[in-house]
Chain A
Amino acid sequence: MSSSQIQELCIRLVEMGKKLGAADADAIAVCDTSESISVRHGQVESVEREDGRGIGLRAFVEQKNGLAFATASTSDLSDDGLKHLVEQVMTMARISAVDPDATPPSGGDHPENIDDTHAQADTWSREAAQQAALACEQAALAYSGDITNSEGAEAGFGTSEIAYASADGFAGGYTKSSAGMGVSVIAGTGAGMQRDYEFDRSHFPQELRDPKVLGQRAAERACRKLGAESITSRKATVVFEPRVAISLLGHLASAINGRSVMQQCSFLAEHSGQIIFPEWVNISDDPDHPEGLGNRPFDGEGTRTNARTIIEAGRLTGFLTDRYAAARLGIENTGHARRGLAGDISIGPNNLIWQPGRICVEDMLAEIGDGLWVTEMMGFGINGVTGDYSRGASGFLIESGKITRPVQEITIAGNLSDMFAGVAAAADDLTWFGTRAAPTLAISGMTVAGQ
């Protein structure tokens, strides 16, 4: 379905809701198509093709003492399916509780003109994707005699049409596309096996990195882990490679989520306007970045998106909000509503970027002297209320400014407040991973637990 067709569908659904007595309503529709191919040991292993559509409606109803709402979604876009959806959501909204702070969608700050030129670019043929995946895996397998096995390589391409309409007459849509390629290989044998991977994501296949380079990087990563051992427990400076450094951006985004703040469930709830990082740290959110896969002209409530500095010279500028959290916190809405088809609205960033530093990684390691270089992390040991942090890790030991030997079966622990304040350096190697970009980061004073 085209962008304009699903916009029409949203408008129709909102009208149906109003006819059944909704005081206000908005609808979102998504139409996805994607294709991917995976290869292993030089042979096609699987091909996948998907097309999916869905529509979600949020309706507000007037009750005795205020507004209440409910949401529902369906993938059945037949007339009967839509009728059922509207009836369902109206029934549910009538039994929902009145929220004195309810923020119905009408009257929001909507964008005027939406530039949807991205839709014009080329897609990927199955053959081209297959060739890329084969080249990627081949380069990995050929890299070294230590590469003993492959988990395969994968390449894929997909597009999504997203449309939104609200009862105040706003309707808009945009197209997102993404291409991805990745490979995972194994070095060593038996109990000494090590796996590592490399991947790249971009808007279009032409923008992806060279499959051969990707394959070689994955193989190099797996090989250099051979012989990894645990180390003794210690306090250390921990260096996060970009692909793990982006997780710190994720923890920051959760901690400044307006809903968590409003509910006093974030360790940063009282830190708006305060210095929480060293003064050279700058972090921004950009809804329209050439490399970001999180670009969007409006958020999940049809609110215009804007670029925003989140950390300015170490200072937390404020929180991310949707209309509801903004109203509750008494601050201006930042337009960060996220919305799936079903369920309630949540809050999240668009493209988060940790601005890089000026020194190269080698100089940074030399300055640190001794520490731990982390290249992979495992587990979910983060407490958003207290900031307590404890995760499994693997990587390399840094001794006298040089990377010396591979390390595994260790944990790194601390508290995010201390870790943010303890950021010691950022390198110049800003790297993008879809919707987040970070350079190599060093954090001092963490506890490493091992043998």
Chain B
Amino acid sequence: MLEAMVPAGADDADLYLQHSESESISMEEGMVKHVSASTHQGIGARVIKGEVSGHAFTDRFETPALMEAAHAARAIAKGADSGAPVAVHDTQQTQTLYQPKNPAQAASMPARREMLERLDGLARSIDPRVKQVFASVGSSFSNIHIVRMDGAHIHDARPLVRLNISVVVEQDGRRETGSAGGGGRFGLDRMLEGEEAERLTREAVRLALLNLDAIEAPAGPMPVVLGPGWPGILLHEAIGHGLEGDFNRKGTSAFAGRIGEQVAAKGVTVVDDGTIAERRGSLNTDDEGSETQRTVLIEDGVLTAYLQDRQNARLMGMEATGNGRRESYAHAVLPRMTNTFMLAGKDRPEDILASLDRGLYAVNFGGGQVDITSGKFVFTTSEAYLVEDGKIKAPVKGATLIGNGPDVLTRVSMIGNDLQLDPGVGTCGKEGQSVPVGVGLPTVKVDEIIVGGTQS
């Protein structure tokens, strides 16, 4: 099929075969209500010539359908086949960041059901104000094979699990929610046996109860201290997307052509690292068969690299960084992040908080978004406090924070010594494709960011 698909003069071509199985079980109103499973398989064919690419996706593993797909993918180039035979050879994988086993095999459905029932009971026992508990545990296992025009055959088997808990609490007619989640690339037994599930349940209840006392969030520019871990979504939105190779090759990113420039305060070092064992954003190999790596994006405040897939790297005369990812066989490859985080600094977190005269201490966030051209980005707090004279005054309601990607990191004035990675919940969306990612941050003080509350 690959030989039939490659026209003369093609720069690259590949086939991506995928078989994935996922299972999910969820509980609400004290009952396990939804048990579901799905199987998805198919093949994606791709031909690249310069800036042009042809794609065809099918789930019919029959010769006519496959040849039709090959024909459609090569429609970008007229003329003869390259005629070159493709000598396929297995490429040895050197990274083993996770066990190539279906995570669902590590825990039976009844065991998962028992765990959810236990967490539901735990949440309700913590506080009588807990009125609703939603708990779900899901797993997937994706087997992929990539066969490239250069003959390389790469295989990866990717487990992924995730647990979510959210609760609704009620007091004097006021209702609030709190949620927490975690996961990674390991067996479901880890979720069932460890303390993490209980911890996440307690966390969801704590957040919901905290929100019962939340006051209106302030509105306007102010200093913000970001807590460690998931607030690393700031990096993902503010600079990560803007450093993806496609936007920079096309000159549509606010960071285009700025390698070597100071884009962050001294002391700020940001990396994208797809090689951390068992992390949600990690991969042995990206979806083009390039090994993932640790890429330093910003070093001591200076922009050092972009995130690259093979096509954009080739066109920009750079090396691929193992960031070519696709949601599934039925999606195009794009340069995407893996686990993106800031390295720890020297400040003690308590000193950072104490330095805040009047501002926001934002410990946890929901989702975020960025306009990579104007550089404006947003992210929304789910746990934040008003701080005065270095002391926490009161929890505030969820508010959207908005800033400018290219200069928000120049306003970082203190960096904590407490780097944390998120608990394994991140999903990144780009051009309609979702992929699992990770983020991380030490406690950080940003001197000014606009807080979108209602209290002016």
What string of 1s and 0s marks CB contacts (under 8 Å) between B66-78 and chain A? 0001001101100
A49 touches B56 (CB 8 A): yes
Chain B residues within an 8 Å CB radius of A84: 39
Q: Nearest chain-B residue to A48 (Cβ)?
A: B55
Given contacts A51-B60, A385-B177, A390-B453, are A378 and B36 in contact (CB under 8 A)?
Answer: no
Give A235 to B220 CA distance when docked, in angstroms.
12
Q: Is A379 an interface residue (CB 8 A)?
A: yes
Q: Is A21 an interface residue (CB 8 A)?
A: no
Q: Is A138 an interface residue (CB 8 A)?
A: no
Q: Is B176 an interface residue (CB 8 A)?
A: yes
Query: Contact residue range for chain B?
Result: 35 or more
Give A390 to B404 CA distance when docked, in angstroms.
18
With most chain B CB atoms within 10 A of its CB, the pick from A193, A409, A449 is A449
Q: Is B38 an interface residue (CB 8 A)?
A: yes
B39 touches A73 (CB 8 A): yes
B52 touches A411 (CB 8 A): no
Find residues 210-263 in chain B having any chain A CB closer than 8 Å to their own CB: 217, 219-221, 250-252, 254
Find residues 18-43 in chain B having any chain A CB closer than 8 Å to their own CB: 22, 24, 26, 28-29, 31-42
Contact segment of A213-221, A305-313, A340-348, A423-431: A340-348
B453 touches A447 (CB 8 A): yes
Q: Nearest chain-A residue to B65 (Cβ)?
A: A51
Q: Is A412 an interface residue (CB 8 A)?
A: yes
> B113 contacts which of A95, A386, A394, A451 (Cβ < 8 Å)?
A95
Chain B residues within an 8 Å CB radius of A413: 217, 219, 399-400, 452-454
In the complex, how many angstroms separate the beta carbon of A5 from the nearest chain B beta carbon? 14
> A390 contacts which of B41, B65, B217, B373 (Cβ < 8 Å)?
B217
What string of 1s and 0s marks CB contacts (under 8 Å) between A70-104 and chain B? 11111110000100110011011101110100000
Find residues 329-382 in chain B having any chain A CB closer than 8 Å to their own CB: 330, 332, 366-371, 373-380
A450 touches B254 (CB 8 A): no
| In the complex, number of A-B residue pairs with CB atoms less than 8 Å apart | 266
In the complex, how many angstroms separate the beta carbon of B449 from the nearest chain A beta carbon? 10
A342 touches B36 (CB 8 A): yes
> B380 contacts which of A91, A341, A390 (Cβ < 8 Å)?
A390
Given contacts A392-B452, A413-B452, are A264 and B52 in contact (CB under 8 A)?
Answer: no
Contact segment of A38-46, A117-125, A367-375: A38-46
Chain B residues within an 8 Å CB radius of A151: 250, 252
The A interface, classified by DSSP as helix, strand, loop or mixed, is strand
A191 touches B34 (CB 8 A): no
A409 touches B376 (CB 8 A): yes
Q: Is B281 an interface residue (CB 8 A)?
A: no
B58 touches A52 (CB 8 A): yes
Q: Is A65 an interface residue (CB 8 A)?
A: no
Q: Is A7 an interface residue (CB 8 A)?
A: no
> A49 contacts which of B38, B55, B221, B454 (Cβ < 8 Å)?
B55
Q: A45-B53, A52-B58 are in contact. List 19 more A-B contacts (CB 8 A).
A: A47-B53, A47-B55, A48-B332, A72-B39, A73-B36, A73-B37, A97-B31, A99-B31, A264-B170, A344-B26, A378-B377, A379-B379, A379-B402, A383-B177, A385-B175, A385-B177, A388-B398, A408-B376, A411-B399
Footprint of B on A, CB under 8 Å? 40, 43-54, 56, 70-76, 81, 84-85, 88-89, 91-93, 95-97, 99, 126, 149, 151, 186, 191, 193-195, 225, 228, 230, 233-235, 263-265, 341-344, 376, 378-381, 383, 385-386, 388, 390-392, 394, 408-415, 447-451
Give 3 closest A-B pairs by Cβ, nearest first.
A411-B452, A392-B378, A342-B38
